[in-house]
Chain A
Amino acid sequence: MKTVRIGSGAGYAGDRIEPAVELARYGNIRYLGFECLAERTIALAQQARQQNPALGYDPLLKERMRAVLPICQAQGITVISNMGAANPAQAAIKTQQIAQSLGLTGLKIAYVTGDDVLSQVQQASFRLLETGEDSSQLNEQWVSANAYLGAAPIVEALAAGADVILTGRVADPALFAAPLIYEFGWSMSDWHRMGQATLVGHLLECAGQVTGGYFADPGMKDVSNLACLGFPIAEVNEAGSAVITKVPGSGGQVTLATCKEQLLYEIHDPACYLTPDVQADFSQVTMRSLGEDRVEVSGATGHPRPETLKVSMGYREGFIGEGQMSYGGPGAQARGRLALEIIQQRLMQRSIQAEDIRCDLIGHNALLDPCRDVEPNEVRMRVAVRTDDPAVAASVGREVEALYTNGPAGGGGASRSVREVLAVASLLLPRQLVTPEVNYLTV
């Protein structure tokens, strides 16, 4: 039976580059996908594009392309990535320039546009999924609106013979489902196969998270050689079942446990995982170990795709100002608490109003309030506020810093920061308002 091997070269924008090179060189793969676009990343990219129209694609695009393009061309590997972010056209031009500078020829670069739907969204009013608010209420604050496109435009580019395919916002699994649809000639209304293709994509999209990354718990779940973590390969057959594996000798491990953790990562109802291509059902998935670093996954099914596309919108929501200071030794917790009380009193005295405030003792209760009180060796007090006024945000950090000379004894290592908040909200847009388009450049 025909099989296709697909590698996953990145699980987020800043991911390591060496594992992708290793996959290209030794993975015996036909496709290499890079998933680099978290919920908020595209809004940040849109801001970069507004500052400079030649930017707005993934900041590591150049480095990644330089590292993998020559190997991929030599080995006949097609690169598929959402590194186009807010500017797929410029990402393609940049890739073309890099290919030229490396002396490569005979390369066809495709880029997918049409996910940017800010103008469509601003012409009407939509209910925000998170808050139930009306999208038009935030009109002044919107930075970006991108619809999650499906696999179809990527399949189109593959059929046209593209060697590199760059997209903006597409559903993460679509980057990996598309080559399966193309290679096996699957109908995109074969919902069970779309479900299985989505399962493969979902397992690959976070790269090292299925090969032992984000898994180790010394003494309970030991993983060897995480500094050289190998990224995953899916070996998929015509029936849609897949074996997850990695390059022999690379760090990490592919086991039932690593695959199960990743299967449920960011999943809500496992019987109803919505993508633009299918309503996938992972509830009956089975896994079988086929020996060292080989796990077979099968049994995903699906139901007809949703009539709407999810749109992720980035909007400005003020500033977060933060200050931190550490206390150690006997009484550290009490001094940390006193420091927090002083700051809250100071903000009140100065009539500094924030929309929201949070006080933590890092080392004690910053992640979750403990059910029992244990005296820690050290704590770090932390105050964070969200506010529309950057001056208010800055004042919190300065008040914390002033604890050096005005606060409890023995405080050290003060730090402060202010950052603009780029929040994300979602809505559903009718499909017919979104028109994906595939464009080509050649080298």
Chain B
Amino acid sequence: MKLREIAHARTGDKGNISNIAVIAYQPEDFDFLVQHLSEERVGALFSDIVHGPVKRYELPKLGALNFVMSQALGGGVTRSLALDAHGKSLSAYLLDLDLPDRGA
């Protein structure tokens, strides 16, 4: 199963920091996200571009996780050489992560 099937996401940027909010469509899937979407997993997916730590914040009341990735935007939005200097496209890649099928 892909993460995309049970969650949606949005990327935000500030300076050289990128954050990706991952939100469960169904609140009851939150614990499953907490279990399978670790800082390490997200950090590994973006290891080519994220050069600082990845920190995860939990928002159980919204069924959401917020991943904050440091040194992630090529030195900062305003000076980055990247095509997508804001890193806005990253949330879509995160949603492609494989998750174990539930109940399987």
A contact residues vs B (CB 8 Å cutoff): 39-40, 129-130, 214-215, 217, 220-221, 257, 260-271, 282-287, 299, 317, 320, 356-358, 360, 362, 366-369, 382, 384-386, 421-424, 426
Jot down 6 A-B pairs with beta carbons below 8 A, ordered by A: A264-B59, A356-B81, A367-B90, A368-B46, A368-B93, A421-B79
Q: How far, in whole Å, are A129 and B93 apart by their CA atoms in the complex?
A: 29
**Residue B104 interfacial (CB < 8 Å):** no
Question: Quick check: B59 and A426 within 8 Å, CB to CB?
Answer: no
Q: Within 8 Å CB of A221, what residues of B?
A: 8
Q: In the complex, which of the residues A264, A284, A369 has the most CB atoms of chain B within 10 Å of its own CB atom?
A: A264
Q: Within 8 Å CB of A424, what residues of B?
A: 15, 76-78
Q: Within 8 Å CB of B83, what residues of A?
A: 360, 362, 366-367, 382
Say which residue of A215, A368, A384 sits within 8 Å of B48 (CB atoms). Answer: A368
Q: B1-32: which residues lie under 8 A (CB-CB) from chain A?
A: 4, 8-10, 12-17, 19, 21, 23, 25
Say which residue of B12, B61, B75, B84 sits within 8 Å of A267 (CB atoms). Answer: B12
Output the least CB separation between A83 and chain B (Å): 21
Sorted nearest first, the 3 A-B pairs with minimum C-beta distance are A264-B21, A266-B12, A358-B81
Q: How far, in whole Å, are A215 and B46 apart by their CA atoms in the complex?
A: 22
Q: Within 8 Å CB of B13, what residues of A?
A: 266
B contact residues vs A (CB 8 Å cutoff): 4, 8-10, 12-17, 19, 21, 23, 25, 46, 48-49, 57, 59, 61-64, 66, 68, 74-79, 81-84, 89-90, 92-93
Output the least CB separation between A79 and chain B (Å): 27
Q: How far, in whole Å, are A366 and B78 apart by their CA atoms in the complex?
A: 17
Question: Quick check: A39 and B78 within 8 Å, CB to CB?
Answer: yes
In the complex with contacts A220-B4, A220-B8, A356-B81, A263-B49 CB distance below 8 A: no
Nearest CB in chain A to that of B9: its residue: A261
Q: Within 8 Å CB of A265, what residues of B?
A: 10, 12, 21
Output the least CB separation between B74 and chain A (Å): 8
Q: How far, in whole Å, are A147 and B21 apart by their CA atoms in the complex?
A: 28
Q: How far, in whole Å, are A271 and B13 apart by their CA atoms in the complex?
A: 18
Q: Within 8 Å CB of B12, what residues of A?
A: 264-267
Question: Quick check: A39 and B77 within 8 Å, CB to CB?
Answer: yes
Q: How far, in whole Å, are A266 and B17 apart by their CA atoms in the complex?
A: 9
Q: How far, in whole Å, are A422 and B64 apart by their CA atoms in the complex?
A: 35
Question: Quick check: B23 and A260 within 8 Å, CB to CB?
Answer: yes
Number of A-B contacts (CB under 8 A): 117
Say which residue of B8, B14, B66, B92 sits within 8 Å of A270 (CB atoms). Answer: B66
Output the least CB separation between B18 and chain A (Å): 10
Q: How far, in whole Å, are A261 and B52 apart by their CA atoms in the complex?
A: 24
Q: Within 8 Å CB of A357, what residues of B?
A: 81
Nearest CB in chain B to that of A269: its residue: B57
Question: Quick check: B66 and A264 within 8 Å, CB to CB?
Answer: yes
Q: How far, in whole Å, are A423 and B72 apart by their CA atoms in the complex?
A: 16
Output the least CB separation between B104 and chain A (Å): 22
Say which residue of A130, A261, A356, A369 sits within 8 Å of B8 (CB atoms). Answer: A261
Q: How far, in whole Å, are A130 and B25 apart by their CA atoms in the complex?
A: 35
Q: Within 8 Å CB of B21, what residues of A?
A: 260-261, 263-265, 267
Q: Within 8 Å CB of A384, what residues of B?
A: 81
In the complex with contacts A264-B66, A270-B57, A284-B61, A368-B89 CB distance below 8 A: yes
Nearest CB in chain A to that of B4: its residue: A220
Q: Within 8 Å CB of B92, what residues of A?
A: 217
Q: How far, in whole Å, are A4 and B46 apart by their CA atoms in the complex?
A: 43
Q: How far, in whole Å, are A267 and B82 apart by their CA atoms in the complex?
A: 22
Question: Quick check: B64 and A264 within 8 Å, CB to CB?
Answer: yes
Question: Quick check: B82 and A358 within 8 Å, CB to CB?
Answer: yes
Q: How far, in whole Å, are A423 and B79 apart by their CA atoms in the complex?
A: 6
Question: Quick check: B16 and A130 within 8 Å, CB to CB?
Answer: yes
With A362-B83, A421-B79, A424-B76 given, name 18 new contacts (CB 8 A): A39-B14, A39-B78, A217-B8, A217-B92, A220-B8, A260-B23, A261-B21, A262-B10, A263-B62, A264-B59, A266-B13, A270-B66, A282-B59, A283-B59, A286-B62, A358-B81, A367-B84, A384-B81
Question: Quick check: B64 and A267 within 8 Å, CB to CB?
Answer: no
Output the least CB separation between A384 and chain B (Å): 4
Q: Within 8 Å CB of A286, what residues of B?
A: 61-62
Nearest CB in chain B to that of A259: its residue: B62
Q: Within 8 Å CB of B64, what residues of A?
A: 260, 264
